[in-house]
């Protein structure tokens, strides 16, 4: 498998992922657990943020202590399911900016069609973490990354919840410079582009639609 792939197999994530996979999990619980998983995945996605040092005083003494150097961050939600991860990421880094990319999958060709694109300025100075719970065919994620690069992004990571081997291979071929962080690498795609065993349509699970 691609060497750009990181599978976060923390027991809490794996436990919560089982709740998300379970078709009996109600919408409100699904949304809450997805938020919690996003928080932990966000820790992994930001684990190489550069640290500087500041001098502070504890109640007891002066100390030079680590402090983020202040690389600007931007989370980019691939609509609509990406929104299910954004709150958890903002719990982790409240000051991050948020962009949105609207792409839908043509159900016949499975190609990604763009209908919305809005991101903060200076993307070239930011760590851009694009998020979508499902990396299935890879078409949507590839199109989103293309758009972000066209808009100036140079330092991009892709955070998802469940990935299919087909999507990982296609995405990492198209964007070998973009690390993929996921909670699981599932077995395969079915004939209509759903991940098996997967968790169903992530957008429908988040919003209670069908
Ligand atoms: N998108 C989803 O929401 N689920 C899948 O299984 C594949 C793509």
Quick: pLDDT tens for 171-202: 999 999 999 999 999 999 999 999 999 999 99
- Cα(53)–Cα(116) distance, integer angstroms: 40
User: Which parts of the chain are beta strand (E)?
Assistant: 5-7, 51-57, 62-68, 72-79, 97-105, 112-118, 126-131, 134-135, 155-159, 162-163, 180-182, 184-185, 188-189, 195-196
Domains and their CATH numbers in the chain: 5-50+70-207 (3.40.50.2020)
* 80 upstream amide cis, omega within 30 of 0: yes
The residue with greater pLDDT, 111 or 170, is 170
Expressed in angstroms and rounded, the spacing between residue 114 Cα and the centre of ligand 1 is 17
Query: Where residue 210 falls among pLDDT bands split at 50, 70, 90?
Result: confident
CA-proximal residue: ligand 1, atom 4 (nearest)? 201
pLDDT for the residue 104? 80
Average pLDDT, the chain: 95
What integer is the mean pLDDT of 121-125? Answer: 95
Quick: pLDDT tens for 143-182: 999 999 999 999 999 999 999 999 999 999 999 999 999 9
Please give the ipTM for the structure prediction. Answer: 0.96
CA-proximal residue: ligand 1, atom 3 (nearest)? 201
Instruction: Give the predicted TM-score (pTM) of the model.
Output: 0.94
The binding-site residues of ligand 1, defined as CB within 6 angstroms of any ligand atom, are 81, 134, 136, 193-195, 198, 201-203
């Amino acid at each position: 498998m691609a060497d750009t792939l990181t599978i976060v197999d923390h027991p809490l994530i794996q436990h919560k992922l089982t709740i998300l996979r379970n078709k009996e999990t109600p919408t409100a619980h699904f949304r809450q657990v997805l938020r919690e998983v996003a928080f932990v995945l966000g820790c992994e996605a930001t684990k190489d943020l550069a640290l500087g040092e500041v001098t502070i005083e504890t109640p007891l003494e002066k100390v030079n202590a680590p402090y983020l150097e202040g690389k600007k961050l931007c989370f980019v939600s691939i609509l609509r399911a990406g929104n299910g991860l954004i709150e958890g990421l903002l719990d982790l880094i409240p000051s991050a900016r948020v962009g949105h990319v609207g792409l839908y999958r043509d159900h016949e060709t499975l190609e990604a069609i763009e209908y919305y694109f809005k991101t903060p300025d200076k993307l070239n100075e930011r760590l851009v973490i694009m998020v979508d719970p499902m990396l299935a065919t890879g078409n949507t994620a590839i199109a989103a990354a293309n758009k972000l690069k066209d808009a100036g992004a140079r330092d991009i990571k892709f955070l998802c919840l469940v990935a299919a081997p087909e999507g990982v291979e296609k995405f990492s071929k198209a964007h070998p410079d973009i690390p993929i962080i996921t909670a699981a690498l599932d077995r395969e795609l079915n004939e209509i582009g759903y991940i098996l065993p997967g968790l169903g349509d992530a957008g429908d699970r988040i919003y209670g639609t069908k």
